[in-house]
Amino acid sequence: MAPQYILGLSAYYHDSAACLLRDGAIVAAGQEERFTRKKGDSEFPHNALDFCLKTAGISLKDIAAVGFYDKPLLKFERILESYLGVTPRGFSQFMKAGPTWIKDKLFLDKKLRDELPGYAGRILYAEHHESHAASAFFPSPFKEAAILTLDGVGEWATASYGVGRGNELELLRELHWPDSLGLLYSAFTYFTGFKVNSGEYKVMGLAPYGRPKYVQKIYDHLIDLKPDGSFRLNQLYFGYLTGLTMTDESGRFASLFDGPPREPESKLTQREMDLARSIQEVCEEVMLRMARTVHKETKLDRLCLAGGVALNCVGNGRILREGPFDELWIQPAAGDAGGALGVAQLIWHQHLKQPRTVIPGQDSMHGAYLGPSFTDAEVEAFLDEQGAVYEKLDRYSLFERVAELLSDEQIIGWFNGRMEFGPRALGSRSILGDPRSRKMQADMNLKIKFREGFRPFAPSVLRERVSEYFEMDCDSPYMLLVAPVRAERRIALTDDQQELWGIDLLNVPKSDIPAVTHVDYSARVQTVSRDTSPDYYDLIKAFERRTGCGVVVNTSFNVRGEPIVCTPADAYRCFRRTHIDVLVLGPYVLEKSKQPEWQEQHDWRTEFQLD
């Protein structure tokens, strides 16, 4: 019998993506931004789709069904009611946005048909949070589990919970617009001077430098939080109902939080750190209350998470440590890109009634390594075309060489195998460093990433060593759990340092792996197993043999504002533009000092919009 192919799509809002299933198994998935080099690209994912079809060796004519990750008519209903509900201001804004909505999104079926020439089958639509829930449960290693989804907004839902069993899932309850944890967090992202829909992780990273000074004000004025985790937001303080601003134009939000919003790129003050800490604490409390309610209602001991808020790995870590669930599984592409995967699996399991096979302890995401890869011949041809100076090494020699370079505090651009799906670099498109180095965090932030110095880096740790370094002993392959560094590894503050607060603590070593230890002694942990990531595992193992340390620094292979690199050309360009010391493209090693003069004529900062 010929295989059945299902195509899932997300597009037209942000973070467009395509995902292809073959008989229910994930063949390929990719975000459009990686191919176009436009961060958060929302256009139809032509390049991601072409990649998926090429990987499977098929054309659109071979597709059995196409799924889209939300329902535009329901979303239009919500937008229309929201605008009309705040007339006359909302109506005038709708008259500006309405024609574009009607043209581009309301008649989506025709638009999708135009983008899928040669496809004559059905196009099926799932609700937004249904797609998130499917992406959370169906690839998980659980036969049955509770499901919790949290984001800004889909059609009407902003959060939902339900149950997955076998090849079926059911959503039991939803929280509706305009009450949204994602949009509450995004309001503070905007107010602290960062970009909405991409800067939320900066707020999370900034939070440990602050005090929870504004928590009570948030509870008193912005959010009426119930014991079960449901809540209402006081819309007097927000502007997103009309789509104009995140916070209100009358100045109530600014008066409550000691002044106007921070200008982007201006100096961070203690106020922004305190705001970040305060909203992070509120977010974690909402997440914990919701998780406890879901456990109480479903009586299940495993929880699957998706939606943009599920990328808040500090909150996830608290649910794991303090919540009632025995195990968590979080979709690595938890945002809208993952909706493409979710709707494809909904079609396969729920619409086509196909069974689901679960291997205990093993998810079906293939480590999230679902993107393009390149042959040695392709890499070598590119390098020769550039006139690059390189050395090709066998597998063992490569790992030993890179381990030696890392131990000498060299910064390595590591390009190996299939690109990751989702926002995290997981050892295929990564920049690596020595976690024992006291200068590594500053060097990587300022000389490589060209980004704010306060932002922490993640540790990639051998799975069997994780409990030796961090207060956790579970899989965390997708870098979506934060855990404390073990107490015996921490470095206590001196008497003089006890008086420091905020950003003054940035350059104070916190542990014997200071480059991956945040100011609050926490770390965003990635566990690495040989079964899923053989090359990356063996590299870390070689570093451990040389240094006794089973951890490396891992950050995404890009500069600020740039999507993670996709191709050898992207990696080579980033290598030449930055202070990365060595580039490793598969088996090829390039040392910066040996390369010909770089001829680029323009500043890369004009190419990428800062996030």
Residues 268 and 323: their CA atoms lie apart, in Å, by 33
Q: Where residue 243 falls among pLDDT bands split at 50, 70, 90?
A: low
Query: Quick one: average pLDDT of 386-408?
Result: 98
The string of pLDDT tens digits covering residues 445-465 is 877 877 777 778 999 999 999
DSSP per-residue codes, 287-300? HHHHHHHHHHHH--
Q: How many CB atoms sit inside 10 A of residue 385's CB?
A: 9
570 and 499, same domain (yes or no) = yes
Residues 12 and 109: their CA atoms lie apart, in Å, by 13
What tokens were used for 281?
A: 């604490």
pLDDT attached to residue 610: 65
Q: How many CB atoms sit inside 10 A of residue 79's CB?
A: 20
Query: Quick one: average pLDDT of 505-522?
Result: 89
- Let me know if residue 533 belongs to a domain: yes
| pTM listed for this prediction | 0.94
CA contacts within 13 A on the Cβ side of 223: 26
**What secondary structure letter does DSSP report for 368?**
G
35 and 136, same domain (yes or no) = yes
The string of pLDDT tens digits covering residues 351-367 is 999 999 999 889 999 99
**CATH number of the domain encompassing residue 230:** 3.30.420.40
pLDDT attached to residue 238: 95
DSSP per-residue codes, 323-362? SS-SEEEE-TT-STHHHHHHHHHHIIIIIS------BTTB
33 and 124, same domain (yes or no) = yes
Q: Where residue 128 falls among pLDDT bands split at 50, 70, 90?
A: very high
pLDDT attached to residue 81: 59
- Let me know if residue 388 belongs to a domain: yes
358 and 252, same domain (yes or no) = no
Under a CB-based contact definition with an 8 Å cutoff, are residues 565 and 33 in contact? no
- Let me know if residue 413 belongs to a domain: yes
- Asked which of 271-280, 508-517, 549-558 is least confident by mean pLDDT, the reply is 508-517
Helix H, strand E, coil C: the string for 205-226 is HHHHHCCCCCHHHHHHHHEEEC
- Which has more pLDDT, 92 or 467? 467
Residues 256 and 188: their CA atoms lie apart, in Å, by 12
Domain span including residue 466: 376-606
Q: How many CB atoms sit inside 10 A of residue 604's CB?
A: 17
State the chain's mean pLDDT as an integer.
92
What tokens were used for 63?
A: 């597709």
319 and 338, same domain (yes or no) = no
DSSP per-residue codes, 37-92? --TT--S--HHHHHHHHHHHT--GGGEEEEEESS-HHHHHHHHHHHHHTTTTHHHH
**CATH number of the domain encompassing residue 540:** 3.90.870.20
384 and 355, same domain (yes or no) = no
83 and 226, same domain (yes or no) = no
The string of pLDDT tens digits covering residues 473-501 is 999 999 999 999 999 999 987 767 666 66
- Let me know if residue 153 belongs to a domain: no
Query: Quick one: average pLDDT of 404-408?
Result: 98
Under a CB-based contact definition with an 8 Å cutoff, are residues 66 and 118 in contact? no
How many distinct structural domains can be found in the chain? 3
The string of pLDDT tens digits covering residues 149-203 is 999 988 889 999 999 999 999 999 999 999 999 999 999 999 999 999 889 999 9
349 and 403, same domain (yes or no) = no
Residues 414 and 430: their CA atoms lie apart, in Å, by 5
Determine how β-strand 63-68 pairs with β-strand 123-125. Answer: parallel
290 and 314, same domain (yes or no) = yes
66 and 31, same domain (yes or no) = yes
238 and 290, same domain (yes or no) = yes
Q: Where residue 439 falls among pLDDT bands split at 50, 70, 90?
A: confident
- pLDDT score of 82 more than 80: no
Query: Quick one: average pLDDT of 239-259?
Result: 89
pLDDT attached to residue 236: 94
- Let me know if residue 567 belongs to a domain: yes
- Let me know if residue 164 belongs to a domain: no
- Let me know if residue 453 belongs to a domain: yes
194 and 118, same domain (yes or no) = no
- Let me know if residue 319 belongs to a domain: yes
CA distance readout (Å), 144 to 23, 315, 326, 357, 461: 21, 23, 13, 12, 29
